[in-house]
Chain A
Amino acid sequence: MAENVFQLKIVTPERVFFDEPVQMVEFNTTEGEVGIYANHVPITLIISPGVLRITTAEGEKKAALHAGFVEVLPDKVTILAEIIEWPDEIDEERATEAERRARERIAARQDGVDLDRAEISLKKAIARINALR
């Protein structure tokens, strides 16, 4: 089994979020959802808001990952995350409220409403709620 694990390092500008050997990591990118195993071809991917799933020998871990990018090397994956949260750092009420607000704003389609921004906050809110479940 040992050859099937790789080092996953998640860093934010403010702290080292995660640094352990893992079997698989899944996240959402601008090109769609991806899952990465060890010995992946070297690639750099850009994150879009979604749930990060980490599979280790002990089980699965989730986090809400909102922005940043990922550098994949055969034996090492580095996620440079601008915003990332463990489920216990998420306020469910606030996320639900944000989801509702974002949906309203998109539905209203009023002048002066920034649709891109509303969509991003909707995606973030959904990622947060999904990370909790």
Chain B
Amino acid sequence: MASMRDIKRRKSSVESTQQITKAMKLVSTVKLQRAKARAEQSMFYFNELYNTVTSILAKARGLEHPYMKGGKSGKKAVVLITSNKGLAGGYNSNVIKLVTRDPEFNKENTIIYAIGKKGKDALQREGYEVMKDFSEAIEAPTYRDGMTVTKELLGAFEQGDIAEIYLAYTFFKNTVSHIPTMLKLLPVEIGEKELDEREKEVSDAPMNFEPEDEEALNLIIPKYISSMVYGALIEAQASENGARMQAMDNATNNAAEMIEHLSLLYNRARQSKITTELTEIIAGADAIS
């Protein structure tokens, strides 16, 4: 059996780890609240933008626009949103698996635009081509970050370097459930059924566009993509902190369990030491008398 001193040392080390995990959990909780509040603030903008985009698309259906058809090069760009720091349970590996486990995205046809160091490092190790790295953006996402990424993507799209654009991020369903999601940004795909419904609505209250269809698409689609990227950044940030909060909560609980076990071992060791000492003293006393 380990000596009393070893057990004590072990216990105090677990205790200090527990303090760290507890603090990290608190920090993630606060950050999660903030990210959730931010997501709520931008809800209205996204809904309104989505409505406008669908009504333009309903009007412009059948239009031969590159944003609707995709390019020819066959290359796929994936915007991969992960975190810069670890200790968030399966959060990062779940997003990374979206790319590596999907035969659609192999090393030859996929170009990665990384937001988040963990994802960038992991895919570079796997041998994927990482075109750009926007990792600072995930720390405090702003709409400007969304615009920067979009500009880069659309530049490559217009040059014909990439044909399709995807977004891999973690959808924040609620505090305990985060869903890794792969979303197609370009060519724009909105369900036919939805467009039909929208068309009906639009014909009830006709909306004019100035400038008309094609130009409107040219101008609005980049805004749509920027806000999708920004939205995904916020969701990812909320999910990251949610995942870290859970991971740290588990770690804290495990540490508590370990401390309990070590206390038991320590007390047992102390008890047996006292017993041994007593037996020795009694035996000694017996020998003298």
Q: Which residues of A contact B (CB under 8 A)?
A: 11-16, 29-31, 41-46, 67-69, 71, 78, 80, 82
- B226/A30 in contact, CB under 8 A: no
A44 with B142: in contact, given A15-B41, A69-B219, A82-B223 (CB under 8 Å)? no
B208 within 8 A of A: yes
Chain B contact residues: over half helix, strand or loop, or mixed? Answer: helix
- A42/B227 in contact, CB under 8 A: no
Interface residues of B, count at CB 8 A: 29
Residue of A nearest to B147 (CB): A82
Q: Which residues of B contact A (CB under 8 A)?
A: 38, 41-42, 44-46, 48-49, 52, 56, 142-143, 146-147, 205-211, 215-216, 219-220, 223, 226-227, 230
A71 with B223: in contact, given A42-B208, A43-B207, A80-B45 (CB under 8 Å)? no
- A31/B211 in contact, CB under 8 A: yes
Residue in A11, A12, A15, A41 whose Cβ sees the most chain B Cβ within 10 Å: A11
- A46/B211 in contact, CB under 8 A: yes
Residue of A nearest to B41 (CB): A15
> Inside 8 A of B44's CB, which chain A residues have their CB?
11, 16
- B210/A31 in contact, CB under 8 A: yes
Name the distance in Å between A105's Cβ and chain B's nearest Cβ.
Answer: 18
Cα–Cα distance between A5 and B219 once the two chains are bound (Å)? 30
> Inside 8 A of A16's CB, which chain B residues have their CB?
41, 44
> Inside 8 A of B46's CB, which chain A residues have their CB?
13
- A82/B48 in contact, CB under 8 A: no
Cα–Cα distance between A44 and B41 once the two chains are bound (Å)? 23
- B211/A30 in contact, CB under 8 A: yes
> Inside 8 A of A71's CB, which chain B residues have their CB?
48, 52, 207
- A14/B38 in contact, CB under 8 A: yes
A44 with B208: in contact, given A11-B44, A14-B41, A82-B226 (CB under 8 Å)? yes
> Inside 8 A of A42's CB, which chain B residues have their CB?
205-208
- B210/A80 in contact, CB under 8 A: no
> Inside 8 A of A80's CB, which chain B residues have their CB?
45, 48-49, 52, 223
A44 with B216: in contact, given A13-B42, A14-B41 (CB under 8 Å)? yes
Cα–Cα distance between A41 and B48 once the two chains are bound (Å)? 19
> Inside 8 A of B49's CB, which chain A residues have their CB?
80
Name the distance in Å between B228's Cβ and chain A's nearest Cβ.
Answer: 11
- B41/A46 in contact, CB under 8 A: no
Name the distance in Å between B227's Cβ and chain A's nearest Cβ.
Answer: 6
